[in-house]
C-alpha cells in the first residue's frame, strides 16, 4: 500500500483556510518543496501536537518513514491504474505518464473510451467463410419473414445468438434496382442497405418472440451514416446487435453493414414486433 502525499505549501494553504481539522501529519507524506525556518516548524509542531517536526534529508517531514523509496511515485501509479479502469474495458498498453493527476487521468480515460466506441465495429468485424454451412438458409428465412422477391434482401444467416445476428446479401448485377440506380454507375441504394439490416434484425427478433408468426415494422432510424459504396459483385455482411432487451414488442438494435473489412453503413434501428 502507498499512502497519499501532499506538498508543504498545500498543507499551509489548507491550514490557513481551516480545512484539515481532522487531519494529522501521520495521514500523509508531506513533501517539503520550499525553504522552511524554525518558526514555521514550531507552528506545525503546535498545530499537530508533535514534540518535534523537522525536514529529513530526503526532503519530507519526519512525521513517518517511507515504506518505499519511491512511495509517492507508486501512489501516482495506482491513481493512473484506478482512473483508467473507468474506461470499462481491459487495457493492454504501455502508458507513460508525466506529472499525472486525477483530472488528467480521467480526461485521458474519456479519450480512450471514445476511441474504443468509435472503432468498436472494426474490432468486431464478422468473419465470413463461404465454405461453412449457414445457420439459416433461404428456405428457412422465407418461413420466418414475409418478404419475397424482389424485396427479400437476406440470403442466409451465418451467426446467431440471443443478442446478435449476422446475415449475408450477395449483391449481383442482376438486382432490379441497378436498372435505375444508376445507369452506367450501379450503386446499391443506402435505404436498401438499411432495409436489409432490418430484415436481418427481424429474424433475430422473431426468433426471440416465441411461437407464432410475426411481422416487424420500423418505428425509428437514428445515427444513420453511409461510408462506403456497395456495387455489383460485393458480398454485403449484415450485423445487428440488440441495444436493449425487447420489451412490449419494441426492439432496439445497432446495425452495421460491411464489405470485407470496411464499414458501408451503420444505424440505430427501432422496430415493433406484431403478432399476426
Q: What is the pLDDT of residues 38-77, one digit of tens each?
A: 888 888 787 777 778 888 767 787 767 788 888 888 889 9
Which residue among 121, 147, 164, 181 is the active-site one?
181
Q: Are residues 152 and 33 in the same domain?
A: no
Q: Are residues 208 and 237 in the same domain?
A: yes
β-bridge mates for residue 266, sequence order: 225, 256
Summarize pLDDT for 128-152 with one digit per residue, the tens. Answer: 999 999 999 999 999 999 999 999 9
The answer to whether residue 132 sits within a structural domain is no
What is the rounded distance in angstroms from the CA atom of residue 212 to the CA atom of residue 191? 29
- Tally the domains of the chain: 2
What is the rounded distance in angstroms from the CA atom of residue 255 to the CA atom of residue 5? 49
- Active site includes 75? no
The answer to whether residue 127 sits within a structural domain is no
| Positive/negative CA dihedral, 19, 25, 31, 32 | positive
**CATH code of the domain in which 66 resides:** 3.30.1700.10
Q: What is the mean pLDDT of the chain?
A: 89
- Active site includes 164? no
Q: Are residues 221 and 247 in the same domain?
A: yes
The answer to whether residue 161 sits within a structural domain is yes
Q: Are residues 156 and 107 in the same domain?
A: no
Q: Can you list the alpha helix ranges (DSSP code H) found in the chain?
A: 8-16, 38-48, 71-84, 102-123, 138-144, 190-207
Q: Taking the model in full, what pTM does it have?
A: 0.63
Q: Are residues 67 and 153 in the same domain?
A: no
Question: Does the N-terminal peptide bond of residue 182 adopt cis geometry, omega within 30 degrees of 0?
Answer: yes
What is the rounded distance in angstroms from the CA atom of residue 44 to the CA atom of residue 38? 10
- For 206, the grid coordinates are 422473431
- For 210, the grid coordinates are 416465441
Q: Are residues 207 and 111 in the same domain?
A: no
Find the domain containing 197 and state its range. 138-275
Which residue among 102, 121, 147, 164 is the active-site one?
102
**CATH code of the domain in which 264 resides:** 3.10.129.10
Q: Are residues 97 and 149 in the same domain?
A: no
Q: Are residues 271 and 144 in the same domain?
A: yes
User: Which residues have CB under 8 Å from 76's CB, separation 6+?
Assistant: 97, 100
Amino acid at each position: 500500500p502507498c499512502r497519499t502525499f501532499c506538498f508543504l505549501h498545500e498543507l499551509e494553504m489548507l491550514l490557513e483556510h481551516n480545512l484539515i481539522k481532522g487531519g494529522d501529519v501521520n495521514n500523509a507524506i508531506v513533501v517539503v518543496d520550499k525553504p522552511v525556518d524554525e518558526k514555521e516548524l514550531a507552528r506545525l509542531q503546535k498545530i499537530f501536537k508533535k514534540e518535534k517536526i523537522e525536514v529529513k534529508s530526503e526532503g519530507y517531514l519526519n512525521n513517518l518513514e517511507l515504506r518505499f523509496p519511491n512511495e509517492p511515485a507508486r501512489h501516482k501509479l495506482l491513481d493512473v491504474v484506478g482512473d483508467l479502469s473507468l474506461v470499462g474495458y481491459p487495457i493492454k498498453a504501455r502508458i507513460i505518464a508525466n506529472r499525472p493527476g486525477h483530472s488528467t487521468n480521467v480526461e485521458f480515460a474519456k479519450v480512450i473510451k471514445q476511441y474504443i466506441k468509435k472503432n468498436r465495429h472494426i474490432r468486431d468485424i464478422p468473419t465470413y467463410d463461404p465454405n461453412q454451412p449457414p445457420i439459416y438458409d433461404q428456405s428457412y428465412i422465407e418461413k420466418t419473414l414475409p418478404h419475397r422477391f424482389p424485396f427479400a434482401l437476406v440470403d442466409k444467416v451465418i451467426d446467431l445468438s440471443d443478442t446478435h445476428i449476422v446475415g449475408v446479401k450477395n449483391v449481383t448485377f442482376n438486382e432490379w434496382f441497378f436498372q435505375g440506380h444508376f445507369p452506367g454507375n450501379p450503386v446499391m441504394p443506402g435505404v436498401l442497405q438499411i432495409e436489409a439490416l432490418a430484415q436481418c434484425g427481424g429474424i433475430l427478433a422473431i426468433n426471440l418472440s416465441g411461437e407464432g408468426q410475426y411481422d416487424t415494422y420500423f418505428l425509428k432510424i437514428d445515427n444513420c451514416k453511409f461510408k462506403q459504396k456497395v456495387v455489383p459483385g460485393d458480398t454485403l455482411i449484415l450485423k445487428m446487435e440488440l441495444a436493449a432487451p425487447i420489451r412490449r414488442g419494441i426492439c432496439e438494435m445497432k446495425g452495421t453493414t460491411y464489405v470485407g473489412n470496411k464499414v458501408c453503413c451503420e444505424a440505430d434501428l427501432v422496430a415493433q414486433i406484431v403478432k399476426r
